[in-house]
Structure 1
Amino acid sequence: MRSTEYAEVWQLARCQALSNADQGTPLAEVPYSLRHACVSLWLRAGVDLVEVARRAGHSVTVLYRFYAKVIKGREEADNARITRALASAEAGPSDGA
């Protein structure tokens, strides 16, 4: 399938899938939008950067370059994870050993 045909099919599918209001927005304007949204979701969910890079077929460097605004702002959640890990380590092993 030629790229021009693919773009036409994408636009037809977009019209079928989106409301009239959403069709006038950049939502899913190109197929790459879905991939970008997926990677952004994984990053916002706190999935490890190395794992996101692997699943997306990127390097971590590419993630930092193109998804920095998604990664930035996670400091509070990351600090909470560190605090929980430290508390767990201080409590000792939970398996009774």
Structure 2
Amino acid sequence: MLVRALRWHIAAHGHAPDGRFFVTQGYGNGPVSKETYSRVWRAARRDGLTLAQCRSPLAKRPYDLRHAAVSLWLNEGVPATQVAEWAGHSVHVLLKVYAKCIEGQDEAARRRIEAALGEPERPEELPHG
């Protein structure tokens, strides 16, 4: 979904010569200032979240979305090696930071192991000997 949105943005607006998607309109298409970025982010939170959510730490900073995405990927069973590559981490750093966020995977892991090993034989089907 994000890739489609980014492709649309590039087709509609292009990108800076250095690859950035968002640049200032003045000052020679330079980087967006922290003040501008923060102001736009606060407005987006107000527009996209309920009042209670706005008062909470939910997506307080744009970086929080990255943390949420990485946690979601890990909790949905995406292999840590893949998540580390996408997030730009080593697997060691990824697990050091995010291991505490991984939960509820015990039963799914057991089902995957059982499926990989195949259906266990019933005792009456075992050879006698």
Q: Distance in 2 between matches of 1:8 and 1:69?
A: 32
Unpaired segments of 5 or more residues in structure 2? 1-31, 122-129
Aligned to 1:56: 87
Q: TM-score, normalised by structure 1?
A: 0.81
Q: How many residues align?
A: 89
1:38 matched to 2:69: yes
Bigger share in helix: 1
Unpaired segments of 5 or more residues in structure 1? 91-97
Alpha carbon RMSD of aligned pairs, Å? 1.7
Specify the structure having the higher radius of gyration (Cα): 2
Question: Which aligned runs of 4 or more in structure 1 are off by greater than 6 angstroms?
Answer: none
Q: Distance in 1 between matches of 2:38 and 2:74?
A: 28
Q: Distance in 2 between matches of 1:52 and 1:34?
A: 15
Q: TM-score, normalised by structure 2?
A: 0.62
